[in-house]
Amino acid sequence: MRSRKVLLVIAFLITWTYITYYILLRSSNPELSKSQFKSLARFLPHAQNENIKSEKLARNLIEFLKVRYLEDQDVPTTGTTPKISIIAAEISDEVADVAEKVTPARIPTQTHLANGEPVIPILVFACNRVSVKDCLENLVRYRPSLKQFPIIVSQDCGDEATKSVIQQFGKQVTLIEQPDQSDIKVPPNEKKFKGYYKISRHYGWALNTTFRVGFDFVVIVEDDLNVAPDFFEYFLGTHKLLKKDPSLWCISAWNDNGKANVVDTSQPELLYRTDFFPGLGWMLTKDLWAELSVKWPKSFWDDWIRHPAQRKERACIRPEISRTRTFGKIGVSNGMFFDKYLKYIKLSTDFVEFTKINMSYLLKENYDSTFLRRVYIYPLVTYDELRRNLIAIKGPVRIQYNTRDQYKRLTRMLGLMDDLKSGVPRTGYHGIVSFFYNGRRVHLAPNANWKGYELSWS
Ligand SMILES: *[C@@H]1O[C@H](CO)[C@@H](O)[C@H](O)[C@H]1NC(C)=O
Ligand SMILES: *[C@@H]1O[C@H](CO)[C@@H](O)[C@H](O)[C@H]1NC(C)=O
């Protein structure tokens, strides 16, 4: 009786899929307008995908019927036939798979606005911190369009209190829940890092789930971030760079050296390229996710992504003044680091109309031929001259470092981050770390015949 019902459901699903597919084919007549054609082109791969799946279902179904009704005579009457159970299990697996797809479908499915602009989901990672409320209030308040920037909150950990905080935002946000709450086996010496394994699993699932809808871009935000008033405008103004320039792989809203005393507060529109992956409010493309998702690591995804094997010499865009600020993390990451450093990062308060700014100065060929060239023309000074204000000329200057130890010493004295990941200093571009000091632009730079980053400097 039960298997009959299952068969009926399957038969219905298959018929439905075929009819949809047929109608779709029929409607592809030559009179299609350009925009209709475009949306069809976007839809077709999904349809094909579904079709392949339904064919597989059909094959299994036929197999099932063959076994059930043709080979029945040879089957011993006692007990169940292994073959039947195996196929039945396969079918119900696939049915479950189809059913599961229905849940994430609550994510808005429109990938482009009528005017062709992309819909850019803001994917917020939440777990068990009710302070996600601050983060969401901020995002909802500054969001210029609900349609263009759907906020998807992905929750891991299944914490009820956090879930109900998220649900209070009603239709303003879409809640999705990481379904795999199974324990993760970690090597004994990494037990204390289990949190990082969970984060990695959560990122992998949520990004897969979101990009599967077909969006070209996704912006990632963590539950402990506040965003600036022009956070959305920043990504709107820069997203085209990611498509245009293959040497870019992310847009980040974060300046690792964004403390109020080392940024130029009169230049909130200023942006930089950086070889260092900053994270903390960042945008990636569908293509990059296709590349990374198949080798996504089990833990420490941020260190992994900074490794040359992933980065492949690509850069990110970062602002002079941060468009995100972390309000403190209790949990997996280090609280000390927050007290010592992160809490001094300045969150931009201006609204810069990034969409009206010509961003082509950030494309690699333009940037390298202006920024890099200029840095090495600026006068070379020492830290001491800078600190004691002994520089007679106005304008930007350069301080040189040659060794890792020099780099560490200088950054500590200057009040900058002194660490490097995969040999890349925070905010560095071709080894150059640019900041503001005593009212002056300063570039901490390696010598002019720099050969590339040294992994051993990390
Ligand atoms: C994402 O989905 C792809 C395709 O289904 C799969 O190969 C990959 O392992 C998934 N990645 C993660 C991190 O879940
Ligand atoms: C943007 O600036 C570049 C030079 O950096 C120039 O060639 C280009 O024409 C400008 N584009 C627009 C739309 O003004």
The confidence score (pLDDT) of residue 198 equals 95
Q: Whose CA is nearest to atom 4 of ligand 1?
A: 294
Is 55 a residue whose pLDDT tops 70? no
* pLDDT in the model for residue 401: 97
% of the chain beyond a pLDDT of 90: 71
**CB contact burial 444-456 (16+ within 10 A = b; e otherwise):** bbbeeeeeebeee
Asked whether the beta carbons of 447 and 431 are under 8 A apart, the reply is: no
Q: Tell me, what amino acid is at 277?
A: F
State the catalytic residues.
Answer: 302
User: Is the pLDDT score of 394 beyond 90?
Assistant: yes
On whether the CB atoms of residues 17 and 51 are closer than 8 A, the answer is yes
Model confidence over 266-279: pLDDT tens digits? 999 999 999 999 99
Q: What's the rounded mean pLDDT across residues 171-197? A: 93
Amino acid at 248: L
| pLDDT tens digits, 76-89 | 333 344 444 444 44
Amino acid at 144: P
Residue 248: strand pairing partners: 315
Q: What is the mean pLDDT of the chain?
A: 85
Mean per-residue pLDDT, 429-458 = 96
3-state DSSP call for residue 424? strand
CATH superfamily for domain 89-359: Spore Coat Polysaccharide Biosynthesis Protein SpsA; Chain A (3.90.550.10)
Any atom of ligand 1 within 6 Å of the Cβ of 204 = yes
Question: E strand or H helix at 314, and its extent?
Answer: none
- For ligand 1, atom 6: residue with the closest CA: 294
User: Residue 56's pLDDT band (boundaries 50, 70, 90)?
Assistant: low
Predicted local distance difference test score (pLDDT) of residue 286:
98
Q: Which two tokens stand for residue 34?
A: 């350009």
Dihedral in degrees, nearest 10, Cα atoms 413, 415, 416, 417:
90
Start-to-end CA span in the chain (Å): 65
Q: Looking at residues 414-423, what average pLDDT do you find?
A: 95
Nearest ligand 2 atom to the CA of 361 is: 5
Q: What is the largest CA-CA distance in the chain?
A: 101
- DSSP, residue by residue, 374-421: HHTTSPB--HHHHHTT---S-S-EEEE--SHHHHHHHHHHHT----EE
In the predicted structure, residue 95 carries a pLDDT above the cut 60? no
State how far the Cα of 426 lies from the Cα of 274, in Å rounded to an integer.
Answer: 8
pLDDT at 57 (0 to 100)? 61
252 CA distance to ligand 1 middle (Å)? 24
Q: Would the pLDDT of 207 be above 60?
A: yes
pLDDT of residue 79: 39
- Going from the Cα of 293 to the center of ligand 1, the distance in angstroms, rounded, reads 5
Distance 209 CA to ligand 1 centre (A): 9
Q: Which ligand is nearest to the CA of 367?
A: 2
For residue 90, pLDDT beyond 90: no
Tokens of 189: 């010496």
Half-sphere exposure of 379 (CA within 13 A, CB side): 13
Residues 427-438 have pLDDT tens digits of 999 999 999 999
Q: Is the pLDDT of residue 411 over 70?
A: yes
Mean pLDDT, residues 9-16: 58
Instruction: Tell me the backbone φ, ψ of residue 385, rounded to 5 degrees.
Output: -60, -40
Single-letter residue type at 98: V
Q: Which ligand has the nearest atom to the CA of 292?
A: 1
307-341 residue pLDDT tens: 999 999 999 999 999 999 998 765 545 566 777 77
**Could you count the other beta carbons within 10 Å of the beta carbon of residue 120?**
21
Atom 14 in ligand 2: residue holding the nearest Cα: 358
Closest residue by Cα to atom 7, ligand 1, is 294
Decide if pLDDT at 51 tops 70: no
Task: Kindly give the distance from the C-alpha atom of residue 217 to the centroid of ligand 2, in angstroms, as a whole number.
Answer: 24
pLDDT at residue 240 above 80? yes
Give me the CATH topology for the region 364-457: 2,3-Dihydroxybiphenyl 1,2-Dioxygenase; domain 1 (3.10.180)
